Amino acid sequence: MSTADRAITLRAMPRWYFTLFTSDALERFGFYGLQAILVLYASAPAASGGLGLPVTDAATLFGAWIGFMFMLSIAGGWLGDRVLGNRRALVAGCLTGMAGYVCLAVPAGWAAAVGLPLVAIGGAVYKPNHQAMINMMFAGSRGREAGISLMYVATQVSALAAPLLVGYLGERVSWSLAFLVAALVMLITGVQLRVSAAQFGDVGQRPVRPLTAGERAAAARRTGLAGGVVLALVLGLGLAGMLSVSLAIGLVGVFSVIVPIVGYTVVYRNRGLGADDRRRLRAFLAVFLGSTLFWMIVAHAASLLNLFARDHVDRVVFGMEIPASWLQAATPLFILMLAPLIAVTLPALSGRTHVPVKLAIGLVLVGGGFLIMSLTTVFAASGEKVSPLWLVVVYLTHACGEVIVAAVIISAAADVLPAGYMGRTLGLMWLFAGLGGGLGSGVVRLAEVVPEPIYYLGLGGVASVVGLAFALGRRALANGLAAGLETPAERPESDAVTEGSR
């Protein structure tokens, strides 16, 4: 089943790769559709089918939602690694997400309160296990980054189509119809994965390190306890009249900071890891934190930038005003256009320092985009609507940064720890991305009290400076990530089960 020695191209795809390739594109359709319309749906009046939230709460909702989803990703990776197996976890994630979109299609506030968490849980289960399947099917690092890059670019087809279709249906026809289309696509994704299971052989069929009887009992107790505490908290706040969207967003923001710290600590202290594994994990913490800042900046596209497009951008094209959500299609369009060029130029950065260098480039690009956005808000302050080209340029910087950063982080994370920890390592990656969303939901509120030009200037400057710091410290970070001389015999006995697959 290994394709470590085979090049993956659009014309030469093994069947298993094509299945993962198309399923990821389909699953991302719902995600990108929700990204395009969530802030608009949340701020739309209840009379028109929206949630009727204040603009500030609507702007922070996306960051809180994506933070919640990414926060659960380490649990999703653990579920695939130790309970369901990665393949069954993929199908479970699709079905859960479908149920969430169906709930969102119900025009009632309680349905949105149920649907958004369900969609987040589905994505948290699906994404780390999909990435684990890719890494396990490649078996070795050769060709893996190129394969992941190609798949990442393919998802941009969904990212391009979803705002155009879901955005149009939501803004011009019905929010409910937009969510039902997303639910149908999720159902198709789950069915495709189920009927194509034989293509993967035994890979991902069973947990890499299944729970023992004692561990299953302990996990059930902890899950029940956590669920009971959450239920009691929600009921208590509801009876006290304190339950609100603002409170929920605030709680997600707090937990999005706490959970990555706890998750990282739990993985770091795992008895199955050796000293060399922990050294690399310590070094990779810098990459996790850099990605936190990167995704916090990029997440603004679905919140403040989307609202800016609705309120301050001249969207009349050939006499017709286009939906604000359509501008969300600019980033994936640029990714599709620029991917061939980037694929040719990036191999020149494939040396031992390529991880910090590529992360540095991504941060400087998105930081530069926000510096441009700072100037754009100055022009919009007069009350005149600005040209959409300003936002298009900002989205161009996001696109270049994403296509460079995303694949290298996913690929590098897979090499940090042994194969039996792959799902949890990728879950950690999304936990720190969720930290970016959670912090972003709090940072966005500063736009109420800080002048917009200063807001974007500050964030853009921080991202650019951190990017330059990664570039300057590239050799030290590369040394920390390099494989050591620890032998299998020096590892704790509990890790012996993963050594053969490493």
Residue among 29, 53, 69 nearest 436 (CA): 69
Whole-number pLDDT of residue 463: 96
Q: With CA atoms as reference, report the closest residue to 121 among 161, 76, 82, 80.
A: 76
What was the pLDDT predicted at 188? 95
CA angle 128/134/138 to nearest 5° reads 145
**What pLDDT, on a 0 to 100 scale, did the predictor assign at position 349?**
63
Does residue 436 contact residue 292 with C-beta atoms inside 8 Å? yes
Question: Side chain identity at 25, as an amino acid letter?
Answer: A
Distance CA 207, CA 402 (A): 31
Six-digit token string for 300: 């603004």
Rounded to an integer, what distance in angstroms lies between the CA atom of residue 36 and that of residue 354? 32
Q: Which residues contact 128 (CB under 8 A, 6 or more apart)?
A: 73, 74, 76, 77, 80, 423, 426, 427, 429, 430
The predicted structure's pLDDT at residue 272: 84
Over residues 129-182, the pLDDT tens digits come to: 988 888 788 765 555 666 776 777 778 888 899 999 999 999 999 999 999 999
Give the pLDDT confidence score for residue 185 in this predicted structure. 95
- Do 137 and 67 meet the contact criterion of CB atoms below 8 Å apart? no
- Using an 8 Å Cβ cutoff, are 71 and 256 in contact? yes
pLDDT of 80 reads 87
Phi, psi for residue 136 in degrees, rounded to 5: -70, -35
Q: What is the pLDDT of residue 314?
A: 94
pLDDT at 387: 94
Q: What confidence score (pLDDT) does residue 140 get?
A: 58
C-alpha to C-alpha distances, 36 to 158, 480, 489, nearest whole angstrom = 12, 39, 51
What distance in Å separates the CA atoms of residue 377 and residue 386, rounded to the nearest whole number?
Answer: 9
Q: DSSP state, 316?
A: E
The type of residue at 318 is F
The DSSP string of 266-323 is HHHT-TT--HHHHHHHHHHHHHHHHHHHHHHHHGGGGTHHHHHHHHHB--EETTEEPP
**Rounded Cα distance, 416 and 413, in Å:** 5
For residues 259 and 230, what is the distance between their CA atoms, to the nearest angstrom? Answer: 15
So what's the pLDDT on residue 9?
Answer: 54
Where is 77: in which H helix or E strand?
helix 73-79
Q: What is the pLDDT along the chain (502 residues), one digit of tens a residue?
A: 444 445 555 566 678 888 988 899 899 999 999 999 999 999 999 888 888 888 888 888 888 888 888 888 778 888 888 888 889 999 999 999 999 999 999 988 788 888 999 999 999 999 889 888 887 887 655 556 667 767 777 788 888 999 999 999 999 999 999 999 999 999 999 999 999 888 888 887 888 778 888 888 888 888 888 888 878 877 787 777 766 667 777 777 788 888 888 889 988 998 888 888 889 899 999 999 999 999 899 889 888 999 999 999 999 988 889 999 999 899 889 888 876 776 667 666 666 778 888 899 999 999 999 999 999 999 999 888 999 999 999 999 998 888 788 767 777 877 788 767 776 777 788 788 878 877 887 788 888 889 999 999 999 999 999 999 999 998 898 888 886 544 443 444 333 333 333 2
Closest by alpha carbon to 103, among 90, 112, 93?
A: 112
Are the CB atoms for 60 and 112 separated by under 8 Å?
no
Verdict on whether the full-model pTM lies above 0.85: no
For the chain, first and last CA: distance in Å?
16
Query: Between the CA of residue 453 and those of 56, 379, 381, what are the distances in Å?
Result: 17, 10, 9
Q: Say what the pLDDT of residue 470 is.
A: 94
pLDDT for 490: 42
What sections of 473-495 are H helices per DSSP?
Answer: 474-481
φ, ψ of residue 399 in degrees (nearest 5): -65, -45
Contact 429, 409 (CB under 8 A): yes
